Structures are given as structure tokens and as C-alpha cells.
Amino acid sequence: MTEAARRAAVLGHPIAHSLSPVLHRAAYAALGLDGWRYDAIDTPLERLPEVVAAVDQQWAGLSVTMPLKTAILAHLHHVEPLAELLGVVNTVLVQPGEPVSLVGANTDVAGILAALRESQRPLDGPAVVVGGGATAASALAALAQVGQTEATVQVRSPARAGATVRAAHRMGLAPRVAALGTAERAVASWREAGIVVVTLPPGAGDAFADALRDAGAEAGGVLLDCAYDPRPTPLGRAWGDRGGTVVPGERMLLHQAAEQVRLMTGHPAPLDAMDRALHAALDTASKEPGGR
């Protein structure tokens, strides 16, 4: 396949841990996009204007991760409807012109939706989203797309969940905000849920894993732990041990990247090749001293 070489990159801070380069480079190789390159650019908030200003005709797009998923909105020319509703952008598409036009999109919703559907379980029953940030907003949008009309949003500080709640309302979903409270109290409510999406940072779910093990009760629903370090996470392992269905966080990562590849290249993403590269990278990391 002969096509003009293009550039893409993931922006965020810190960024050294990102597996986006593994996924996108595997896709380019499988698609025969010789000369395409994908980098990781460490971008604290104060550097974002400078990095975005350097994007020109050579670029196909940007992946955007924390802490930039909301801040990037101020630097875009257009925002796709879903991303605008949520106020969360994780993908920037570069449209040709002088100067180029930057279009914001959200593929996290598609990634969460595809990951949950891999469970092959009915995605019904009470829904719980743990966390109140950008990924939580995308999770609520995904729940709305599977027919959920309400959900409980558990956050450590309910006063800080306003943007996420407003985004959920715009998606037609009525969220109930609840203080996360103790791990024991949280997992007691999870066991009654049909879907639980945990959007906490890596390691933050470990206390809930301990509470699940100590509780001794069965878990019947689907759990998506968006963390994937380590693999499986202690929370995912504990949920599975209690009889629940676990969707590993790397499945969301894979599917959101596949949608980015489709949008940036114009070709269907080579999901199998990306999946193999992702698993190889995670397996290698798990064997390193201290893991990832």
C-alpha cells in the first residue's frame, strides 16, 4: 500500500508508560503504511499550546490522554457531537488546509462499549461507575448506548463530579452521585450491580479487592476495571474469584486505539495484529523486575 508518510502521536503527562505507540505502530505495519510514524510526546498542560501549534500537514492525528482530555478542547477548530456532549476529547484528527483544521473526537466510548460487549453477558441491571473524571464520563456515555437510563456514580468527593454528571444528563442518563466511602461499603453495592466500571488509577482498586475477598459474598455482574497494570489487576482477580465476569482494562485500550487507527488512516483497524502486539508488550512488562 503506497501512501504518503504521515505522523501521529500520543500526548499526555507522564507518557513513558503509554502503550499507544505499540498499538498504532503494529497497525501501521499490518496495513503496510510504510513511513508512517507514531511517537509519545510528554506534554504537561503548560506545553500543550506549543505542541498543538507545531501540528501541520504532515500529521494525521493525535491521541490525547491525561491530563489533557478536557484542556485540548480550547485548541480545536471543530469537535464531533459525542465529544462535545461529554466535554472529553481523546482523539484529534488533522484535516488538510492552510492552516490545518483540528477536529476533536472521543473513541473512549467506543472502546468501553466494545470491551463490555466482549463479556457476552446481558448489559442490564443496575450500573455503577467508580470515579468522576474523563473516563467516567465516557463510561456513562457507553452505558447510555446499551440502554441504561440511570447509574450510580461513586466518587471520593461528590462536589467534584459536577462536569461528569452534566455530561451524563446530556446523554439522556440520570446519574445518582454517591460518596465512595469505605471499600467494604462500596463492594457491597457492586455485588448488586449488573455492570461495574471502575475508572480509578492503577493500584487504587487494591483496597476494594481486599474488601471483596473478605466479604465472601458472590459477585454476579460484569466488571470492567479500566486499569491494566498489573494484569490481571487484584480487583479483577478478586471479582472473578467471586464468580463475576471480568473484562480486563486492556480490552478498552485496544478497542479505543483501533477506532483511532480507523479515523486517522481511513482503513479498518487490523485488530488481531494490534491485539498480538499489545499482549506481547504486556507479557514482556510483567516479566521485568518489579513488573510494569
Catalytic annotation, residues = 69
CA 209 – CA 225 distance, rounded (Å): 11
DSSP 8-class letter at 45: G
Q: What are the distances in angstroms from CA 85 to CA 39, 62, 176?
A: 29, 20, 19
- Nearest Cα to Cα of residue 164 among 61, 252, 69: 69
Q: Please state, in angstroms and rounded to a whole number, the distance separating the CA atoms of residues 287 and 292.
A: 9
- Say how far apart CA 197 and CA 249 lie, in whole Å: 10
Biggest CA–CA distance in the chain, Å, is 62
CB 128 within 8 A of CB 151: yes
| CB-CB contact of 177 with 158 (8 Å) | yes
Residues in the chain: 292
Nearest one of 146, 233, 147, 240 to 198, comparing CA atoms: 233
Is the distance from CB of 268 to CB of 262 less than 8 angstroms? yes
Contact 59, 65 (CB under 8 A): no
CA distance 94 to 90: 13
